[in-house]
Amino acid sequence: MGKHHFIPFFTLALVFLVPVILGRTFTATTHNVETDYQTIKVGTAKIANQTDEYVFSLFYLDLDIDVRDVKYLIAPAMVILLGADPAHTQDKNMQVTVAFNKFGEGCVQRLPRCRYGFFQVVNNDYEKWIMYAIGGSNDPTILSQGNRFLAPDVAKSKQVTQRHDAPEEEWKNWKWKSENDVFLNGAFFVPSGGDFQPTPEQTAGLIPPCTEPVEALTRDAGKLTCTPGQPC
């Protein structure tokens, strides 16, 4: 799985400016211990020539997470996993925002993949993934808003969504919803669970979809290019 980082006893954690080059892998992993976690933010990471493993893996969480301003350049295979496995039912309390990210051409899957919890995926730009963009298992609630999905040319991969480890009779009740998303080159989102509304607690952490084109919003996602002593 590559390298892991264990971060105990915190109220705010930032993981940023993470270069991955020449096929090396990086996994940012947090484990829940008996403490009062509040917020994790993962952002401003630049990924190049990442061809296997996870880039970010966040799980065992009873907190709010904000993943934004991340730029994946060349073909990560499994990018963001949110929720460890079905045994970690405490992840039902996880609330995640994935916002203002650029998922470039050739990312394979898990942009993100979600287990349990509530997930807002908002104002992201997706270009020609290999398998799927947004996946989930164990009844996650997913609200997709204001994203731009440019599907790959392969017909079988144009679906944005993928449910795992459940028959349709089960996943048809999972709450997955698309609002104000843009679908290009045959991309399509399969909703489920009817016309649900987020709870007041979930609504409090939402980022509003932007009216500006998402490709402009995410144009500068990733690390800043700065010279010491000069404005970035």
Active site residues: 110
Rounded to the nearest angstrom, the gap between the alpha carbon of residue 202 and the centroid of all alpha carbons in its chain is 17
CB 195 within 8 A of CB 178: no
For residues 23-51, b (16+ Cβ closer than 10 Å) or e, as one string?
eebbbbbbebeeeebeebbbbbbbbbebe
Residue 209 DSSP one-character state:
P
The CA dihedral of 115, 120, 125, 129, to the nearest 10 degrees, is 20
CB 107 within 8 A of CB 73: no
Rg (CA), the chain: 17
